[in-house]
Structure 1
Amino acid sequence: MVQLRVILADDHPFVLLGIRAALERRAGVTIVGEAATPRSLIKLLQSTPCDVLVTDLTMPEASGAVEDGLDLVRRIRCAWPSLRIVVMTALTNAAILRAIVSDVVVSALSKMETTDELWQAIEASGRGEVYVGRSIIEALARPRDEASDPPPVSRLSRRQAEVIRMVVRGQSISEIAVALGCHRRTVSRQKREAMAKLGVTNDPGLFAYIRAHGVYES
């Protein structure tokens, strides 16, 4: 039996441990490496041949030297075109999910899926096929009326949009408060409300959303 060489990437050690434990019970797969940051993943790919990469979408790099999210996936796709990629994500924003599955050679599934479905995605990827998890298919199948339901970015107030723009440019809450002449709590509240409108729950999700839409990037 041909052994699929798999690299795992996730910034949560317990997630890596759980996936490794689940996959090691399967015949036909060998875990050849693990990474917890974009930088370490790139370095590992440069030195370790593998057939399938199973990676989280959001793995923030503290130094910012290597971007995560869709930019990281695209960089890997460009550098290793024959590598099959299975993206796992906890994000539920349909625009981000749509951006992931628009790449016809990248498999994708929610972190809410079972390990059996992860294995199906890995097997399909090893055969050169694309696998999209049921939760993602369901999220993308939900009707959307673009005429009456404008893109979420357009729903932000002027100040909310300004705060998000400054966050994306790397400014801290304190720096934004000084620049706008308001209290840090006010900035935090405006950021939190803006993220709720965008359908994201954390900073990695926010940055992934911004990259998927190409807004506030100049």
Structure 2
Amino acid sequence: MRSHSYNKREKILVSIRIILADDHPFVILGVRAALEMQAGITVVDQATDPVSLIECLRSTPCDVLVTDLSMPDHSFAVDDGLNLVRRIRSCWPQLRIVVMTTLTNPAILRAIVSDGAVSMVGKAESMDELRQAVLAARDGHAYLGRSIIEALAHPQDCECERPPAPRLTGKQAEVVRLLVSGQSISDIAAALGCDRRTVTRQKREAMAKLGVTNDPGLFSYVRAYGILNF
């Protein structure tokens, strides 16, 4: 695992084709401009949600994917950010991925960086940090930004105080269990014999009770507090 001191082959010898994904257009504009200032880096396509990202990957060859982890998908065709990364790794195993994130919870960060083909930088870090991550990814190395290293080195005291057990219904608890085990919304709907919209509703209701607002937050909460014994 490479740290923020990556200096190998700083000079780009071959062109790097990048697909950029983020649900905030201004983020895409800024990141694209900063990366393309570096000779040899070309953003060949961009996406603003999981569905369009999968379409880009299917139609546009690239060397490195630079993506936000938390992109909402209102069509429910693609599941949470962690499963999205896993799906991409499964379908395109040679593709290197650089994840941009605002997350600082060690539990969710460890789940992401456990894959040696996935690099990660904090969104608050400099564009030079992102550039180094892209270079490292191009060379086949995993890269962690400064803020990610710091978060992993100084884990939060999440085990010291466990929150009160949330009162989830049996169905809500089952949906959360299956999600954390890696199953998709479609898989869960098939297993429980219900419509995928019902599963999505139960998931949202569980998230509201747990006090989380997005999928990474749900995974982080469950993994940090171990609340699967409802």
TM-score category (smaller protein): 0.7 to 0.9
TM-score of the aligned structures, taking structure 2 as reference length: 0.72
2:16 is the counterpart of 1:19: no
- Of 200, 205, 214, which residue of structure 2 is paired with 1:170? 200
Q: What are the ranges of 5 or more consecutive residues in structure 2 without an aligned counterpart?
A: 1-12, 177-198
Pair 105,171 (structure 1): closer, same or farther in 2 beyond 3 Å:
same
Computed over aligned residues only, the root mean square deviation of the Cα atoms, in angstroms, reads: 3.1
- Of 191, 214, 219, which residue of structure 2 is paired with 1:203? 214
Q: What are the ranges of 5 or more consecutive residues in structure 1 without an aligned counterpart?
A: 177-186
Report if the CA contact (8 A) 2:70-2:214 is conserved: no
Identity of aligned residues (%): 54
TM-score of the aligned structures, taking structure 1 as reference length: 0.76
Structure showing greater relative contact order (alpha-carbon pairs closer than 8 Å, 6 or more residues apart): 2
2:227 and 2:23 map into 1 onto residues whose CA distance is: 26
What is the Cα deviation at residue 105 of structure 1?
1.3
1:45 and 1:144 map into 2 onto residues whose CA distance is: 36
Q: What letter is aligned with 1:21? A: A
Q: What letter is aligned with 1:108? A: M
2:107 is the counterpart of 1:95: yes
Report if the CA contact (8 A) 1:58-1:208 is conserved: no
Aligned to 1:179: none
SS at match of 1:170: helix
Report if the CA contact (8 A) 2:105-2:156 is conserved: no
What is the Cα deviation at residue 209 of structure 1?
2.6
What is the Cα deviation at residue 28 of structure 1?
1.4
1:212 and 1:18 map into 2 onto residues whose CA distance is: 33
Paired residues in the alignment total 192
1:170 and 1:135 map into 2 onto residues whose CA distance is: 32
What is the Cα deviation at residue 206 of structure 1?
2.5
Aligned to 1:80: 92
Q: What letter is aligned with 1:83? A: L
